[in-house]
């Protein structure tokens, strides 16, 4: 009788452990992410103010499940009075007045131009420099970012990406956002 009790107890433990394994495996299974890629790769622009009260104070980047994001901080900019912007793929990135080429790493280059001057007291960058504070190690899409200067009311940034991929531009209070998808 004692032997049967031991067998039944052992069997109960084995079955309880087996039942827990699928539940734990299901909890640990990665969840699939549905990524919106209908943004397209054509030029994006929006009317805005040429007489901005804000100026470029910082550029930051972040990684997301479906895209890499560049955030251009322009304190003072509002959604009611945003910076005028043009964002487009270009065959090569250059300083506007001289057309001097600025090499940007990546399979494709997005030029970001917006009507906000650089606040030298907060964001110090020279023509053709990599944008300070950005490290794209581990990013799926972003490869490089260079400063193209400020000319004729527009600040220019060259964003090197892995390939010509869909992107979108968002205007939020105090910032201009460029998201580039990881895939089509």
pLDDT of 80 reads 86
Q: 127 falls in which pLDDT band (50, 70, 90)?
A: very high
Q: Contact 146/128 with Cβ under 8 angstroms? A: yes
Residue 28 has pLDDT above 80, yes or no: no
**Residue 52 in tokens:** 């901005």
Find the radius of gyration of the CA atoms of the chain: 25
Specify whether the CB–CB gap between 156 and 150 falls below 8 A: yes
The CA distance from 64 to 38, in Å, is 17
Residue 6: predicted pLDDT: 45
d(CA 129, CA 164): 23
Query: Token pair for residue 122?
Result: 């907060």
Q: How far apart are CA 109 and CA 143, in angstroms?
A: 10
pLDDT band, very low/low/confident/very high, at 144 (cuts 50, 70, 90): very high
Residue 173 has pLDDT above 80, yes or no: yes
For residue 139, which of 72, 36, 70, 90 has the smallest C-alpha distance?
Answer: 70
Instruction: Report yes or no: 74 and 122 within 8 Å, Cβ to Cβ.
Output: no
98 neighbors 149 (Cβ within 8 angstroms) = no
Give tens-digit pLDDT for 70-110.
999 999 898 888 889 999 999 999 998 888 999 999 999 99
Q: Name the band, by pLDDT with cuts 50, 70 and 90, for residue 182.
A: very high
Contact 142, 161 (CB under 8 A): yes
Q: Are 118 and 151 in contact (CB under 8 A)?
A: no
Contacts of 81 (CB under 8 A, 6+ apart): 48, 49, 52, 53
**111 confidence band (pLDDT: 50, 70, 90):** very high
Global confidence as pTM = 0.81
Highest-confidence segment of 21-30, 70-79, 118-127, 135-144: 135-144
């Amino acid at each position: 009788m004692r032997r049967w009790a031991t067998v039944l107890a052992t069997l109960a433990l084995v079955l309880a452990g087996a039942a827990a394994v699928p539940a734990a495996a299901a909890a640990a299974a990665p969840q699939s992410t549905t990524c919106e890629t209908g943004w397209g790769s054509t030029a994006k622009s929006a009317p805005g103010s040429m007489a901005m009260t804000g100026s470029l104070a910082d550029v930051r980047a972040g990684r997301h499940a479906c895209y890499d994001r560049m955030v251009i901080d322009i304190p003072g900019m509002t959604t009611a009075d945003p910076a005028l912007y043009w964002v487009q793929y270009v065959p090569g990135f250059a300083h506007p007045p001289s057309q001097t080429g600025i090499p940007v790493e990546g399979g494709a280059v997005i030029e970001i131009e917006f009507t906000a001057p650089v606040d030298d007291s907060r964001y110090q960058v020279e023509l053709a420099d990599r944008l300070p504070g950005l490290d794209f190690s581990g990013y799926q899409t972003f490869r490089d970012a260079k400063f193209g200067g400020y000319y004729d009311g527009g600040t220019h940034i060259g964003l090197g990406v892995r390939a010509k991929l869909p992107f979108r531009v968002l205007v939020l209070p105090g910032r201009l956002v460029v998201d580039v998808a990881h895939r089509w």
